[in-house]
Structure 1
Amino acid sequence: MRKLVYLIACSIDGFIGDPGGDASSMYGFVEGEYQTWTLDEYPETFPAPYLASLGRADAPPKRFDTVVMGRGTYQVGLDAGLPSTYGSLREIVASRSLTESPYPNVELVREDLPARVRELKAEDGPLDIWLCGGAEIAGVLREEIDEIVIKTYPQVYGSGLPMFGSGFAVSDFALEEVHTFPNGVLVRRYVRKR
């Protein structure tokens, strides 16, 4: 069975964006050894135009063939003129406000996102599903998440969007990997204990 992997960037104090959802202060850390590692391990998590600028536009997906995101996360790409930010991936967007998909590989889910994710996980295939964000969607899908990959950037926000926008409930995960980089970025991979 395929896994839902919540791969997310956050500040040291656990915020994925400022109070308005902006995480652009973290972009400056995507350089050097950390950028090389991320491009090697998770190339499909970079926007398609960025991969093209690096000469990697034709690189096949390595870990994911589908990305799930909320309307706010999707809007960042739309605002940049990208109706399909991750061109090689099937994009699942949870939205009640969009009435029709702006691009062929973008599927809108208006109701029961957990059920749709369970269907995706049951599909055949060697690649997993990337939960891109945001906080509200992560909260809705918390019980469906099989792995969490946290890219912690050396910044403190003080307040903002938490990793999970949901009520209190304990879910146990086991630490599987830790990677540290010279620029202060720390990447941890956790697997759900079932």
Structure 2
Amino acid sequence: MRRIIAATFVSLDGVMQAPGGPQEDPTGGFQFGGWTFHYFDEATGAALGQMFDKPFDLLLGRKTYDIFAAHWPYAGEDDPIAVLFNKVTKYVATRKDATLDWNNSQSLGADVAAALTELKKGEGPDLLIQGSSDLIQTLLRHGLIDEYNLLIFPLVLGKGKRLFGDGTAPAAMKLIRSQSFPSGIIMATYEPAGDVKTGSFALQDPSEAEIQRRQSLE
């Protein structure tokens, strides 16, 4: 069975829009494109490279696909990530009729969730999401993401497309591994861990003040 892994750059407040450059995705008036650039160093780059050590295929929303297709085929054979990305299969969630010109690219069709449910049942490498915030929201609604591999950057962006947007179903997460870097970046890997469990630190017999406080909220 294949897994879907969301490998994502996020700010401390959960924004994932346009990490690579000002022209990447300025939609919605986003003004901070390229916010990851000054944090990368050799150690972070090496850790990021480990993400691609295991076999994978790419799973992309149409906007991210267009960004990648305009960059990676032209990056040169001396770039190891370009070599990988150009070789693997690219599964694309798209409503457009335009041809997917990047080699080894194929559309997921009209029902993305159904197509991915079937793909996950088959044999093959993990399906690695890069960027693709809109696609991630669809997969969150259908519970199709098996792992979150997050690079969390030490800044707050205030607005922009978020990893966990409106309508995300509540869920507990289990931390699988983590690593921090001198730049302030934290790499953390999580897996879904069932429903959110709640409890209470309140006194077993609430005080009169607490009873009044609760009543004031009604």
Please, what TM-score do these two structures have when normalized by structure 1? 0.79
Q: Does 1:162 align with 2:162?
A: yes
- Once residues 7 and 105 of structure 1 are traced to their aligned partners in structure 2, the CA distance between those partners, rounded to angstroms, is 21
In structure 1, the residue matched to 2:181 is: 181
- Shift of the 94–166 alpha-carbon distance from structure 1 to 2, 3 Å rule, reads farther
Structure 2 gap ranges (5+): 19-25, 76-81, 195-218
Equivalent residue number for residue 27 of structure 1: 37
Counterparts in 2 of 1:83 and 1:171: CA distance versus 1, 3 Å? farther
Contact 2:9-2:16 at 8 Å conserved across structures: yes
Deviations for 1:83-102, whole angstroms, at most 9, x for unmatched residues? 99611221011111243221
**What are the ranges of 5 or more consecutive residues in structure 1 without an aligned counterpart?**
44-61
Matched residue, 2:63: 72
Match for 2:90: what amino acid? E
In the other structure, the counterpart of 1:49 is none
Q: Partners in 1 of 2:145 and 2:72 — Cα distance?
A: 30
Select the residue among 102, 127, 132 that pairs with 2:130. 132
Cα distance, 1:132–1:172 mapped onto 2, change above 3 Å: same
Q: Does 1:100 align with 2:99?
A: yes
Is the Cα–Cα contact under 8 Å of residues 150 and 188 in structure 1 kept in the other structure?
Answer: yes
**Residue type at the aligned position of 2:3:** K
- Identify if the C-alpha distance between structure 1 residues 83 and 31 changes in structure 2 by more than 3 Å, giving closer, same or farther: same
If each structure's strand is expressed as a fraction of its own residues, which one has the higher value?
Answer: 1
Question: Aligned partners of 2:72, 2:190: CA distance in 1, in Å?
Answer: 34
Q: Which has the higher contact order (CA 8 A, sep 6+)?
A: 1
Larger radius of gyration: 2
Q: Cα distance, 1:116 vs. partner?
A: 1.6
Q: Deviations over 1:65-94 (max 9, x none)?
A: 211111111121234374996112210111
Quote the offset at 1:4 in angstroms. Answer: 0.6
Q: Which runs of 4+ in 1 moved over 3 A?
A: 78-85
Question: Quick check: 1:64–1:129 contact (8 Å CA) kept in 2?
Answer: no
8 Å contact from structure 2 (residues 60, 131) kept in 1? yes
Report the CA distance shift for 1:75/1:104 in structure 2 as closer, same or farther (over 3 A).
closer
Does the 8 Å contact 2:73/2:102 carry over to 1? no
Structure 2 CA distance for partners of 1:120 and 1:166, relative to 1, 3 Å: farther
- The one of 44, 48, 51 aligned to 1:38: 48
Give the C-alpha shift of residue 154 in structure 1: 1.5
| Mapped contact 1:10–1:163 kept (Cα < 8 A) | yes
Describe the SS at the equivalent of 1:124.
coil
Number of matched pairs: 174
What SS does structure 1 have at the residue aligned with 2:123? coil
Identical residues among aligned pairs (%): 22
